[in-house]
Amino acid sequence: MKFDTPATTNPIDQLNVVGRPLDRIDGPLKATGTAPYAYERHDVVRDPAYGVVLGAGIAKGRIASMDLNAAQAAPGVLAIVTAQNAGPLAKGQYNTAKLLGGPEIEHYHQAIAVVVAKTFEQARAAASLIRVAYDAVPGTFDLAAVKDRAPLAKETDSSGPTRTAVGDFNSAFDAAAVRLDAHYTTPDQAHAMMEPHATLAAWQGDRLTVWTANQMVAWSTGDLAKTLGIPKEKVRLVSPYIGGGFGGKLFLRSDALLAALGARAAGRPVKVALQRPLMFNNTTHRPATIQRIRIGAGRDGRITAIAHESWSGDLPGGGPETAVNQTRLLYAGAHRLTEMRLAVLDLPEGNAMRAPGEAPGMMALEVAIDEMAERLGMDPVEFRVLNDTQVDPEKPQRPFSQRRLTECLRLGAQRFGWSARQARPGQVRDGRWLVGMGVAAAFRNNLQMASAARVRLDGRGIVTVETDMTDIGTGSYTIIAQTAAETLGVPLDKVVVRLGDSDFPVSCGSGGQWGAANSTSGVYAACMKLREAVARSVGIDPAQAVFANDQVRAGARRVPLAQAAGDKGLVAEDGIEYGDLDKRFQQSTFGAHFVEVGVDAATCEVRVRRMLAVCAAGRILNPKSARSQVIGAMTMGVGAALMEDLVVDTRRGFFVNHDLAGYEVPVHADIPHQDVIFLDETDPVASPMKAKGVGELGICGVGAAVANAIHNATGMRVRDYPITLDKLLGQMPPPG
């Protein structure tokens, strides 16, 4: 199905099933512990062996020698795979570093061996017996130390332009009546998902099957085949359930490759789960940023000049954290400048994590906007509303398909009780707590991606949907079932959804807030094709056919779907393909975050007291699961603001706090009452579902709202995240 004109009335608009806050159909499996996650696939192979990965003990250099003798002689050991005996290995399209290092080492904990044994304990014990000697060389691990030498990042499809300029920023900034020039930093941060990167691999002759935790099935199937040097059709990747990804499982990782290599060497199935420290140092992470923001405005509060420059680092061949992209689109202003610079760092590779780009970028931008409002003597909500725009500020001839930022801010302010906020900081006390409110805009782009599905109707009237789309805990099973049920006029309990298998049609996959709208659009396309086949099979004009109550009807004629399918059933396969609507219209999602915090006047402990998110993201396909995504994202935003920080050992080049004991994330006690409001809207330009993504919108702006609330409570402005109490101590106002 080609989608190149805005959607008109279609079967989804009935809203009999779509748009309802239905329970997750996979919920019982997860609640009872029977959902088949990758490491727990006891049903697919017999008697698997276990692999334990050995990571490099240096960040840069070479392996001088590796003594495997003691490990090979250890009880239960079946095979040890290293770069020396693995055979030729390529590097996948989506990998920055090699997944199996040696003799060259590119980063600390880069996998250099996998030990395969009959039991996990035997494999772990044997791995500890490997003796490795290194020739280490000095590396670069400190972004701040090399910032001034960092060149402009190379433009890629995912980064977009790395430098943009409209008008004459420097002249306009110099002439502005009110100006801000400030630097902000965000640290390296980890995905820290519950489920480790894990894979079970098995060979049948020259065919490989991996049951793994992966968000993008087609990408990783191709990269695994490319790395191993075998045809893609010889690789099957299965990933029906994922215990958290957040971008960390978008790409092929070493667990999948080493499980495949270990299984081939041992001659039996092998399962590998990365140890928790290797998940922090051997997979991707969110890279640190240094950001400079300059804003100039007239006394009336209108922005005349805005510039956002960002520095981040990655391994050679990597890409930048796209922290400036929201600044290109969020606020009006005639004179504009953005730049992204990229330093080469010898740290584990940086890549997508929890709304890459906008999440760390808005942690800076939305604090700068508050600082400007304060300098202008304006309310922060009103300053944002004043500088709203309905067109792309860089290309004024290009309108937004939908942009209701002002409504989100106004409604949020009303519901949150913003009028009670004291503009002068440090004025509100609740016992020992200084209390403040903060606000930030929310912004995340909407991405259109091709997505396909196959739909079967059998003689019992059961509809089965197959697509390689994944469910990373976001509710894909449910919204896909809702889409099929709505389009074909059947109840939800007559829809079976099968996901996460490379044997199924290629979907958009899960990531970047693109999964829900695109995958359901692909399912809708396949269902519309099936509707046509059903109607023709019973002699009804497809244009006149109505699908409802398990039947297809036209006029007075009604035929049960089970009867129409017959004994052989009917199958249709199709997908959504997009035209140029994303070029003609800027497609984005918008929102507003409101946060109230308390700061202990003596200890500077920060406690979030309440939170509200107001979101405008097109049609909400399932308000219940969408709310769950947004409150989860809000929680991640609190973590980024107050505690998450991968501490870099700048001498040896590794993340020191590389486990869940040292890397702090929010727990239940840290998170108060959270409210979420979805504006009632549809966006016909975005997809036939008239929906856009919403999950990552929930994190974009939260960190800044927390920082702004802390400033309102205390009068202190912290521009370096996370905002820990040591950055507040010594600056607190005297007791009053």
Residues taking part in catalysis = 696
Sheet holding 557-560, edge to edge: 546-548, 551-554, 557-560
The candidate with the shortest Cα–Cα distance to 112, out of 52, 27, 50, 181, is 52
What are the Cα distances from residue 138, in Å, to 58, 144, 346?
Answer: 10, 17, 9
**Token digits of residue 121:** 């304990």
Question: 10 Å Cβ neighbour count for 400?
Answer: 19
Contact of 442 with 700, CB cutoff 8 Å: yes
Work out whether the CA dihedral 475, 481, 485, 490 comes out positive or negative. Answer: negative
> What SS3 state is found at 639?
helix
Question: Checking DSSP bridges between strand 2-3 and strand 570-578, what pairing results, if any?
Answer: parallel
Altogether, the residues listed in the chain come to a count of 736
DSSP state of 698: G
SS3 string, 315-326, reads CCCCCCCCCCHH
DSSP state of 154: P
Half-sphere exposure in the Cβ direction for 549 (13 Å, CA): 3
Report residue 228: phi and psi, to 5°.
-80, -15
DSSP state of 290: E
Report residue 363: phi and psi, to 5°.
-65, -25
What are the Cα distances from residue 452, in Å, to 1, 396, 524, 691, 713?
Answer: 10, 34, 9, 17, 50
d(CA 383, CA 714): 21
Question: Checking DSSP bridges between strand 303-314 and strand 335-344, what pairing results, if any?
Answer: parallel
d(CA 636, CA 262): 36
DSSP sequence for 136-153: E------HHHHGGGPPBP
First to last CA, the chain: 67
Contact of 363 with 640, CB cutoff 8 Å: yes
> What SS3 state is found at 525?
helix
What are the Cα distances from residue 156, in Å, to 161, 317, 318, 341?
Answer: 8, 11, 10, 13
Question: Checking DSSP bridges between strand 606-616 and strand 570-578, what pairing results, if any?
Answer: unpaired
What are the Cα distances from residue 308, in Å, to 156, 338, 545?
Answer: 19, 5, 54
Amino acid making up residue 176: A
Place of tokens 């950055």: 727
d(CA 663, CA 443): 27
Rg, C-alpha atoms of the chain: 27
d(CA 733, CA 178): 27
Contact of 703 with 721, CB cutoff 8 Å: yes
**Token digits of residue 384:** 């944002």
Enumerate the β-bridge partners of residue 485.
none
